[in-house]
């Protein structure tokens, strides 16, 4: 980061915002367009100056250090105009923001975003459209619906499919499990959970997912009144994909215990490994067993636009529901996600007709109120950014970007595999690499855990690079998550050098001659 603020009152080259009276609320309306334009130009200059001066993905600041800057901030006393407010924002936020566009950011499933999407965010925020009902959104309703239909078609669903935009994968997975629970309650007992609440035997429902699936499935089970115990983790194969034989056995065991298999969740892109469960055999098994099949493709949905790797999602068209996160692999700002369903009637369990908002008569007249199929009422027009991206750039550009990061991960795998000081766990299917620094010396597993934790903390403190961390079979690992198509193999090499440097420094700081406590060394021989 630059030592000097990227933005200050005196650094402005754009005109200052016009003075406002005490009764002016700065509303976006025709009489305030001059103020609107000048404010946007100042904000744009702030962004440009910061982007030009960013040298690292993070400043390295610690939470307690940044918290001190907020301790004496009085929100009852406003700044003296937009200039001062933006300067404060630069100091409190942008100075220590995490910059996902930086090629040394390799931590979580955060992507850089397209400029058309940012433009759409400005338009959406200015007009503040809510897409819950037709009389609040007009064209926005049809833009979202066309994108739902387009995504459903990419999945391989037919005209009976439908869906809705959501806040993210967690909400989409929650909604999918809600549909599974309520539709199977109707199937087993002719019981309407929507009308009558949970059936007395609902605690017997069981959901099957791989042991490395997303935690939102457990969260969904808890929120739906089924409990964490309703989720049955299924062992994975050597590639961290759900083992279909183990799934078959788990379903059989569940039935023998007098429990009721409800749904199978196949993951198309696990968070830690990017692994894709074998969808076709899982779909065949789910169909034979009469189970709801949900595919969590929050990460792997980018394959829907890929010209090289679309085959990895083969079988997804057999799912009853699918989660997609455009804000992971479609280069969209958060939030921009959706849940798709193969049969539109299954969305009926979330429908409630309020006379003041979406009365039944409007549906009978053919008025499209998207709130009829959403968990949310007031809802941002998040579809606009994906729409403008696709209309300006086309889906092929999104697919090419995702293909690029997949290729980069394969290059990175070979790089890590060839390094004697690195232990890598898996060969990537998508764009994630899990590994740890393991120098050629006798260190215990506990010492290796401590060493890799130290490396990540040192990297974050320096701000030179950001990597993720995870635990696998109780042991500590580092993780590259590659979603930036501008990141090159030389950037991965640079981050790897930093990892090894910090690792060597941590070892040097804990040698027996050092006054600090030495790392535990394994007994040899």
For 132-164, the DSSP string reads: SSHHHHTHHHHHHHHHHHHHHHHHT--TT-EEE
Above 90 in pLDDT, residue 245? yes
pLDDT tens digits for range 109-145: 999 999 999 999 999 999 999 999 999 999 999 999 9
Instruction: Tell me how far apart the alpha carbons of residues 326 and 319 are, in angstroms, rounded to a whole number.
Output: 19
**Closest alpha carbon to 203 in 220, 227, 179, 223:** 227
Model pLDDT for residues 55-81, shown as the tens digit of each residue? 999 999 999 999 999 999 999 999 999
pLDDT band at residue 21 under the 50/70/90 scheme: low
Q: How many residues does the chain have?
A: 525
pLDDT in tens, 314-372: 999 999 999 999 999 999 999 999 999 999 999 999 999 999 888 999 999 999 999 99
Give the pairing type, strands 422-424 and 260-267: unpaired
Higher pLDDT among residues 191 and 166, named by residue: 166
Per-residue model confidence as pLDDT tens digits over 259-283: 999 999 999 999 999 999 999 999 9
Token code pair at residue 224: 């739906």
pLDDT at 157: 98
Q: In DSSP terms, which residues pair with 472 in a beta bridge?
A: 475
Does the predicted model carry a pTM greater than 0.85? yes
Structural domains for the chain: 9-96 (no CATH), 130-390 (3.40.640.10), 396-509 (3.90.1150.170)
The single-letter DSSP state of residue 276 is: B
- 17 pLDDT tier (thresholds 50, 70, 90): low
- CB within 8 Å of 398: residues ≥ 6 apart: 302, 305, 329, 330, 331, 389, 390
Q: Is the pLDDT of residue 18 over 70?
A: no
Number of C-beta neighbours around residue 93 at 10 A: 11
Q: 515 falls in which pLDDT band (50, 70, 90)?
A: very low
Q: What's the mean pLDDT in 133-161?
A: 96
Q: Which residues of 28-42 are buried (b: 16+ CB within 10 A; e: fewer)?
A: eeeebeebbebbeeb
Count CB-CB contacts under 10 A for residue 212: 21
What integer is the mean pLDDT of 2-8? 48
**What would the pLDDT profile of 399-426 be if each residue is shown by its tens digit?**
999 999 999 999 999 999 999 999 999 9
Q: Which of 305, 492, 300, 302 is nearest to 409 (CA)?
A: 492
Residue 337 to residue 301: CA distance in whole angstroms = 10
Q: How confident is the model at residue 185 (pLDDT cuts 50, 70, 90)?
A: confident
* Separation of alpha carbons 357 and 421, rounded Å: 62
């Amino acid at each position: 980061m630059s030592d000097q603020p990227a933005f200050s009152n005196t650094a402005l080259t754009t005109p200052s915002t016009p003075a406002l009276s005490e009764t002016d609320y700065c509303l976006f309306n025709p009489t305030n367009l001059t103020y609107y334009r000048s404010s946007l130009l100042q904000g744009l200059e702030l962004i440009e100056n910061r982007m030009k001066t960013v040298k690292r993905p993070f400043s390295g600041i610690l939470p307690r250090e940044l918290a001190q800057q907020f301790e004496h901030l009085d929100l009852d006393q406003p700044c003296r105009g937009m200039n001062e407010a933006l300067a404060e924002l630069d100091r409190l936020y942008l100075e220590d923001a995490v910059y996902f566009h930086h090629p040394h950011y390799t931590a979580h499933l955060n992507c850089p975003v397209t400029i058309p999407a940012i433009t759409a965010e400005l338009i959406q925020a200015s007009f503040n459209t809510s897409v819950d009902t037709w009389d609040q959104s007009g064209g926005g309703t049809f833009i979202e619906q066309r994108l739902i239909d387009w995504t459903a078609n990419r999945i391989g669903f037919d005209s009976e499919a439908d869906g809705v935009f959501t806040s993210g994968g967690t909400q989409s997975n929650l909604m999918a499990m809600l549909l599974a629970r309520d539709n199977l309650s109707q199937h087993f007992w002719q019981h309407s959970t929507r009308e009558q609440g949970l059936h007395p035997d609902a605690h017997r429902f069981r959901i099957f997912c791989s042991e490395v699936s997303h935690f939102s499935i457990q969260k969904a089970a808890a929120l739906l009144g089924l409990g964490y115990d309703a989720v049955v983790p299924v062992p994975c194969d050597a590639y961290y994909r759900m083992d279909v034989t183990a799934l078959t056995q788990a379903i059989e065991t569940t039935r023998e215990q007098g429990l009721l298999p409800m749904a199978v969740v196949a993951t198309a892109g696990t968070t830690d490994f990017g692994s894709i469960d074998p969808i076709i055999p899982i779909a065949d098994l789910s169909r034979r067993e009469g189970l709801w099949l949900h595919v969590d493709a929050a990460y792997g949905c980018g394959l829907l636009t890929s010209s090289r790797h679309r085959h990895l999602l083969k079988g997804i068209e057999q799912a009853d529901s699918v989660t997609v996160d455009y804000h992971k692999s479609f280069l969209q700002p958060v939030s921009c996600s959706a849940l798709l369903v193969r049969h539109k009637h299954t969305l009926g369990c979330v429908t409630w007709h309020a006379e003041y908002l979406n009365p039944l008569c409007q549906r009978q007249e053919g008025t499209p109120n998207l709130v009829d199929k959403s968990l949310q009422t007031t809802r941002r027009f998040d579809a606009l950014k994906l729409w403008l991206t696709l209309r300006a750039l086309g889906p092929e550009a999104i697919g090419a970007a995702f293909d690029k990061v997949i290729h980069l991960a394969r290059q990175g795998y070979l790089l890590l595999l060839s390094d004697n000081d690195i232990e890598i766990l898996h060969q990537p299917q998508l764009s994630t690499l899990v590994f740890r620094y393991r120098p050629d010396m006798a260190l215990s597993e506990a010492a290796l855990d401590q060493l890799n934790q130290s490396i990540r903390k040192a990297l974050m403190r320096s701000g030179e690079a950001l990597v993720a961390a995870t635990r696998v079979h109780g042991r500590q690992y580092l993780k590259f998550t590659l979603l930036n198509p501008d990141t090159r193999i030389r950037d991965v090499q640079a981050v790897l050098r930093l990892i090894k440097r910090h690792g060597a420094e941590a070892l040097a700081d804990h040698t027996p001659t050092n006054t600090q406590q030495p790392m535990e060394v394994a007994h040899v021989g």
